Structure 1
Amino acid sequence: MAAVLHTGHGDIHLALRPDETPYTVDNFVGLSTGSRTWTDPVTGATGEGGFYDGTVFHRRVPGFVVQGGDRLGTGHGSAGYRIPDEIHPDRGFERPFQLAMANLGTDSTGSQFFITLASAPHLNGQYTIFGEVTDDRSKDVVGAIASAPTVVRLDRVTILAT
């Protein structure tokens, strides 16, 4: 399974790992397509459409990470629920460009995700890695987002069955 993050800086192609992290991938796909029920953190109403559409990468640290998935754009918003971690024993952050769910501690993942830009083994065992960036052009886009001087939007996410 694959996903494409469509941004103002270009597309980011991702390989997802439903075999290793089925609930996390299902959650990401459901939020991306609007098939999973979510709560708008601004209005408190049930959201419509893709949760990630029009959000921003609210955390951008060159050489380390880009983070998105918060409709508030502050790092404090969620989809109104939490899911359990699915930390795979054979996956770590020894390589860059890993896609993982952000959290506030054990079993507190919801909608926020991040992509690493460098090796970050100090994150091992703390976050569900559910995919990775697949090609050099996409890696360049992630790097450009991290160093962008202005806000970068995630226009939409396309899910591709493989």
Structure 2
Amino acid sequence: MKVWELTNASLDQAPRRLKRESKTRRKEEMKILWWVSLVFVITNVGALAEEPQLSSPRVVFQTNYGDIEFGFYPSVAPKTVDHIFKLVRLGCYNTNHFFRVDRGFVAQVADVASGRSAPMNEEQRKEAEKTIVGEFSDVKHVRGILSMGRYSDPDSAQSSFSILLGDAPHLDGQYAIFGKVTKGDETLRKLEELPTHREGIFVMPVERITILSSYYYDTELESCKQERGILKQRLAASAVEIERQRMKCFP
């Protein structure tokens, strides 16, 4: 009798025990899911925070293989951006060239003091000979990034810089990133297909890749110009409609 009562009690408690265990298991699963979601959010927010804001100016290098447009990260490397942009405004990169094209790695612009085919004036040479303090950051070296060239001295950058043709994490924190390519990836792919030869550590193009000319513009001003053009068109259309109605009502 006692055995039956114990067995019956055990059977009666089994569903409740299973229910409690199931509820506990669900709580544990929800806790794990919550932590996974939290880690995912933190990781993605961190990744977004690492993406710096481009300023409105754009620079275009017109090469014998097509155009390359890029923008600047003044919040990341303000002194470097000021220096490179001044070199562009002075026309220092005109007739310069890409002395290095290592497929999947970098396309590197030569120092303007030695890479130009045209002579430099005094103002150009003075700016080109300046060295810039190394403004290293947490921004990653990935395809399209602009990164200053330098010697072993971290503060020896002048006017040579590389356009990344692939991811290069071993350069992170070692070279100053100051911008990225905004248009012209098709031109970069053309450069990667050109014949090259190796000289020491450098992979160099067989034929000269010349920066024929360069120019710059401001995306905010361009936007305003476009808006003004649209407004003028609307005003002109309105004037035509007013005149049509006037002729209809007052022939």
TM-score range for the pair, normalised by the shorter chain length: 0.7 to 0.9
Matched, 1:126 2:174: yes
1:99 aligned onto 2:146: yes
Pairwise mapping of residues 1-162 of structure 1 onto structure 2 (< 5 A)? 1-34=57-90, 50-71=91-112, 72-73=114-115, 79-89=128-138, 91-93=139-141, 95-105=142-152, 106-135=154-183, 138-149=184-195, 150-162=207-219
Amino acid at match of 1:82: T
**Alpha carbons 1:28, 1:111 under 8 Å: kept:** yes
Shift of 1:134: 1.6
Q: Deviations over 1:118-138 (max 9, x none)?
A: 000000011111111124xx1
| Residue equivalent to 1:45 | none
Shift of 1:140: 1.6
**Contact 2:76–2:177 (CA under 8 A) maintained in structure 1:** no
Q: Secondary structure at the match of 1:87?
A: coil
Q: Which amino acid aligns with 2:143?
A: P
Structure 2 gap segments, 5+ residues each:
1-56, 117-126, 196-206, 220-251
Moved beyond 3 Å, runs of 4+: none
With normalisation by structure 1, the TM-score equals 0.79
CA distance in 2, matches of 1:13, 1:24: 18
SS at match of 2:115: coil
Match of 2:245 in 1: none
Please say which of residues 80-89 and 24-33 is displaced more in the overlay. Answer: 80-89
Unaligned residue ranges in structure 1 (runs of 5+): 35-49
Secondary structure, counterpart of 1:140 in structure 2: helix
State which drifts further: 141-150 or 95-104. 141-150
Q: CA RMSD in A?
A: 1.8
Structure 1 match to 2:4 = none
Cα separation, 2, equivalents of 1:13 and 1:7 = 11
TM-score normalised by length of structure 2: 0.52
Between the aligned partners of 1:27 and 1:82, the Cα distance in structure 2 is 9
1:72-113 deviation line (CA, Å, top 9, x unaligned): 239xxx922211011122x011x2111111111311110001
Give the residue type in structure 1 aligned to 2:148.
Answer: M
Report the Cα distance in structure 2 between the residues aligned to 1:27 and 1:54, rounded to whole angstroms.
Answer: 19
Structure 2 letter corresponding to 1:98: I
- Cα distance in structure 1, aligned partners of 2:65 and 2:149: 22
Per the TM alignment, residue 148 of structure 1 is displaced from its structure 2 partner at its CA by 2.2
